[in-house]
Each structure stands twice: as C-alpha cells, then as structure tokens.
A and B are shown apart, each in its own frame.
Chain A
Amino acid sequence: MHLPFCTGCGNTTVMNCFLRAVHELGYKDLRKFVFCSGIGCAAWIPSPYFKADSIHTTHGRSIPAATGVKLVRPTLNVVVFGGDGDLVGIGLSHLIHAARRNLDITVIMVNNMIYGMTGGQMAPTTPFKAKTTTTPYGNFEHPFDTTRLIVAAGACYAARWTTFHVEQLREAMKKALTTKGFAFIEAVSQCPTAFGRRVGLKTAKELLQWFKENSVPLQEAERTAEKDLAGKIVVGEFVCRELPTLTEIVHETIKEATNDA
C-alpha cells in the first residue's frame, strides 16, 4: 500500500508501533475499533489505511466526534490519531475537556512540532526560537507541554516518547489501549520535510539522533533544575491511575433515570 507520508516521516513509525501493539494485545483484526481523526499528516494514519471504521472529521474535531461514538457504542475501542496542530492547536479545548470528563478513549498525538501538511508553519508545540515559514525570525512563543497539560486536566494514562523509543512507545500504546479511562500518548516524531529542513536537521536520521541525545527520562528530569531542561524532551509515563469513566457514569445515570421514570 502506498502511504501518503514523506520518506523518513515518523508517522510510519507511529503506525507500526500501534499495529504491533494491537497485535500483541491479541486482536486478530480491527473490527472492535473505531478511529477518529481530524486534518493534518497524522490524521492519515488510520484513515483510510486501516481496514476498520474511521471518521475523518473537520480540523480539530476528532475528539468530540469520538465522544458521540463512544457514548452511543461503549463496547467499541475508540482511538483518535492526530497531529499537534489538530489536537492542541485548533482542537485543544476538546482535548482537555475529554480528559476532564475522563472519556474512555485513547488519543495518540503525533507531535512533529510544526504544521507539516500546510508546509511548515509554527505550531503551538514549535520550540522557542525555531524558524518556521510563519516565524522567519525564530519563534517568539513558548511551546505547550501537552502531556503535562493532559495530566492536569484529569487523564488516567499519559505518556510521552519519541519515535526513537519505538519499544517504549509500543508498550505505552498497549497500556493506553487497556486503560479504562482517558489515555493520551504523545509521540514526538520527526518531520524531515517541514520541520527538520528548517532547523538544520535535514534527514530522519539526524532528527532521531537529536531525539536520542535530548530525551530526558521523567525521573531524571524531576531531579534536574528547570533551566537545564530547556530544549530537552522529557519522556516517560506521566500518570497511570484509575477513575470512573464518562461512559460508565452516563450509562449508570440512564439506568437510574429509567428506573425512576
């Protein structure tokens, strides 16, 4: 199958990790899954390339669409794929609200730190001072620490790895998929075309090298002074907890209301 991604794009790694995770969890096919995605390169990971149901929504609206699907069909595994522009740019409010509600879905955010599909504009995750087509003098804004934001919003599971950490990424996906509540994976990923080229890391290899050298495990980061963490990627499992889920609560409420009526 011909995938729509550029050569060396991290999306293929994320796709691979996910399919392996699903396989290792024992699923024979994707019949019990529904994929929702918005607009952008990462939105093409499931749709239409997975042999499964997928809803490719408008820009940023994959999570609310997933909300409708999950509440109506609680037994399905609803998985959202999206880029940083889609999920924390235009769709941020939906993302944190879904975490707050503890909507029991898995969200996989491919963070390439740029708007790739539209040709390399600044994203809410673009590193400080990085040059993009809309920040020709260097980005004067600070990026979101999305995983921490999602933990604060109430997610049950949140982990960040890079495409260099394929094994950890796959294991995290397995955990996310078996988590009962809202699960979030941030996959920091290489975009040689729209990002790497502009920051002087032209190939996937150079970008992966950069991920390798600049990743700091969470435990180590906790012992490190904040100023020393500038420009670093903190990786690891940020939260793993169990809380009642939105679907459970909504359907319990329906049961009570039906009995009362």
Chain B
Amino acid sequence: MQGNQACAEAAITAGCKFFAGYPITPATEIAEHLAKRLPQTGGIAIQMEDELAALSAVIGASWAGAKAMTATSGPGFSLMQENIGYAFMTETPCVIANIQRAGPSTGQATKCAQGDVMQTRWGTHGDYTPIVLSPNSVQEMYNLTIRAFNLAETHRTPVILLADEIIAHMREKITIPPSNKIKIINRKKPKKTDKTFFNTEEIPPMPSVGDGFNVPVTGSTHNKHGHRYTADPNVHRQLVERLAEKINKNANQIINFESHNIENCEIIIISYGCTSRAVHETIELAEKRGINAGSIRLKTLWPFPEKIIQTIAKNAKMIFVPEMNLRQIFYEVERTVHGAVPVLPINKIGGGEMITPEELLTKITKSVNNIE
C-alpha cells in the first residue's frame, strides 16, 4: 500500500467522517482515496476552493460533531496557518496531514524535503504548543494517523501529521490489525447540565452545534463560557497558558520515539521521517569501523522530547542530526543539550535526494577522528 493511501485508510478507521482539501502534490492521493472511500462509509469528502476554505470547512464539520481532516503540502500548509491558530484557540479537534516537499515557495513540488518542521512549530501567530507526529514508514502513516485523531480528540486540539514525499509515495506491505485491537478515542461530550466549554482547568467537554448548548465559538480571547473578553490581561493569559499547558502537561503521554543502543554508545544519531531510514544501516557500518553508535528516532516532533535527549546526552560523546533541510531540529537538539555534548548537523537539500548511509558514515567518521 502507498503511504498516502495508508493515511487515508487509517483516517477512516479512526472514525473520520469529513474531509475537505485542495489538490497539491505530494498530498493529493489522500484526497483522492478519501473521495472514493469516505462516502462508502457514510462520510463526506469535498474539494474546496483553496486551503483556507479546506481547513475552515474541517473546523465547521468538527463543531458539527464529525471527526474531520485535511491534507496538504508546504505551500498549502502556509495558507492554513490562520485557521490552525483558530483551531488551537477554539480547541477544535482536527487532523492536518502535511506531506512535505522542497520549498520555499513552489520549490520542487515533486521532491522530498523536511523543511516544514519549524513551520509546524511556530507557523501561526501568537503562542501555542502544537502536537506534531512524524512517520517513517507506510505502516507508521497508518498507525500515526490513527494516533493523530486520538490525540486530537483527547486534547481537543488540531494535530499535525508531518510526513514527507518519500514516505507518502512509497509502497510497502502493512499489517492492519483487527478493528477490535485498534484503540479509538472520541471527544468528551457535555452533559445536559454543563455550561462551560472553554478556559477551565481541565480539557473541557465539546458540544456540537445544534445540540442546544448555545455555544459562541470565537477566535478572540474568551472566558469559560466562550464569550469574547479581550480587555483583561488575566483572561488572555489564563486561556493561552492553559492551551499550551494542556499539551505540555501531558507531554509524557504524547511523546513517542524509538531508540537503538543508546545506553552506552559514543555517538547518537537523532533523526525522523524518511531520513531515519538510512540510520540503521549507518549504525551497522559504523560498528564495523569500531564506532559504537546508537540512535533515537522521533515519532513526535512536538512537544519536543527534551528530557530523553538530555538523558542520553549525559553518556554520549557526540550527537548527529541528519535532516533534509538546512538545520531545523538540529537547533532544537542543540538548545536541549545546552553544551553538554557537541551536536553536529548533517544536511542535504534539493532534488529530493535522501541522505545515504555512506554519506552519514563519512561525516560521522570524520568528526569522530577529528576529536580523537
């Protein structure tokens, strides 16, 4: 199965009943697959006039009670930023798949890159904490899409599935577990007597429009009833801090990674997405040269797994961060280890060319020899 198809199928399994999108390479197959499959499962798929409309429609659908998603790539993701902020501010669960291609601007529309990492972190204006997942195989496109829906529903927030062209267009065999083995989470619904749906200590229950709760949904700073309240700094502070905190506080349950030989190795490779696929072989090759290497592969990019990286930094001599961009997660790792150990970037952009194990090895051996 193809990565994009796996994402679409997983969305259906997760309970997605509404898709709105705008065609863009290399994300289009998600829209095409859902256009065919969603109606068969009683769901709605619609092509909107642009990406702004696509995410707005998704937000409307989510407030109408449906699990909803959209899919796009870098340029379209840029257009969605205003409504990503709106979804965050209004606590609207939804899933946004961003299949990265080479930018900036139209860039190389059909070529792979990992240049949208920081756009997922800080793309919209104001302060916020996003949840961003990064798959590295077709199987994970499936698993993490389901997880994205579950996290969106649990935390009442937009969740971004940040994949890349290689993973999206790759074909691999995947195992789809029997449906009773897949955990599906649905948003907390209010009781008839509930009155507050925003800005409370907990993650508030989410009513649907038309259910008689008279909810005013607004992107303006609002109190716990949803009413606009922009004069009081405390109301804003409390709201925005809570929105960030509800993610930060649960970061341990959200953060998810895969590690290999990190206990007692000299060098650690931190990678994500398609780039991580070259790491395993690199480690084997390194071992043959007497370099003791381990790796961490990030499945959750945001919230950033600071604690685990700080722990492994204690034992390692050097950390490498290979990426198909000009340093994005690299800076984050550097900030996290705070000088405890040297962090070295390995970057490659253009043409959708992956970083090969040989390239990684050359860079690693050179750096290791330099300090010895």
Q: Which chain A residues have a beta carbon within 8 Å of chain B's beta carbons? A: 31-32, 34, 36, 47-48, 51-61, 63-73, 75-76, 93-94, 97, 250, 253-254, 256-258, 260-261
Contact = CB atoms under 8 A, between A and B. Distances in A.
Please list the 9 inter-chain residue pairs (A to B) with the smallest Cβ-Cβ separation, ordered nearest first. Answer: A68-B60, A68-B61, A257-B39, A64-B56, A48-B216, A72-B64, A261-B40, A65-B60, A64-B53
A47 B220 CA distance: 12
A253 B227 CA distance: 38
Contacts of B62: 68
30 contacts: A34-B209, A36-B60, A48-B226, A48-B228, A53-B209, A53-B210, A53-B215, A53-B216, A54-B215, A54-B216, A55-B59, A56-B216, A57-B59, A58-B86, A61-B82, A64-B48, A64-B52, A65-B63, A68-B56, A68-B63, A69-B63, A71-B64, A72-B18, A72-B44, A72-B64, A72-B66, A250-B46, A254-B39, A254-B42, A260-B40
Contacts of B82: 58-59, 61
Contacts of A261: 40-41
A97 B226 contact: no
B218 A258 contact: no
Contacts of A65: 56-57, 59-60, 63
Given A54-B216, A56-B220, A72 B65 contact: yes
Contact of B57 (A32, A67, A75): A67
B97 interface: no
B289 to A, nearest CB: 55
A244 B2 CA distance: 37
Given A31-B212, A72-B18, A97-B49, A64 B42 contact: no
Contact of A69 (B46, B64, B83, B226): B64
Query: Which interface class (under 10, 10 to 19, 20 to 34, 35 or more) fits B?
Result: 35 or more
Nearest to A77: B210
Contacts of A258: 39-42
A42 to B, nearest CB: 15
Given A58-B219, A68-B62, A250 B44 contact: yes
B58 interface: yes
A260 to B, nearest CB: 7
A61 B83 contact: yes
B42 A66 contact: no
A22 to B, nearest CB: 15
At the interface, is chain B mostly helix, strand, loop or mixed?
A: mixed
B214 interface: yes
A48 B198 CA distance: 15
A73 to B, nearest CB: 5
Interface string B7-33: 000000000011010000000000000
B128 interface: no
Interface centre among B83, B210, B214, B215 (most CB of A within 10 A): B210
B359 interface: no
B20 A253 contact: no
B43 interface: yes
Interface centre among B20, B58, B64, B68 (most CB of A within 10 A): B64
B210 A34 contact: yes
A66 B56 CA distance: 8
Nearest to B63: A55
Contacts of B218: 47-48, 56
Given A61-B53, A67-B46, A72 B227 contact: no
Interface centre among B41, B43, B49, B83 (most CB of A within 10 A): B49
A73 B210 contact: yes
B44 A71 contact: yes
Interface string B193-234: 000000000000000111011111111100000111000000
Given A53-B216, A56-B219, A58-B219, 18 more contacts: A48-B226, A53-B209, A53-B213, A55-B63, A56-B217, A56-B220, A61-B56, A63-B53, A64-B56, A64-B57, A65-B59, A67-B20, A67-B48, A68-B62, A72-B60, A73-B65, A250-B46, A258-B40
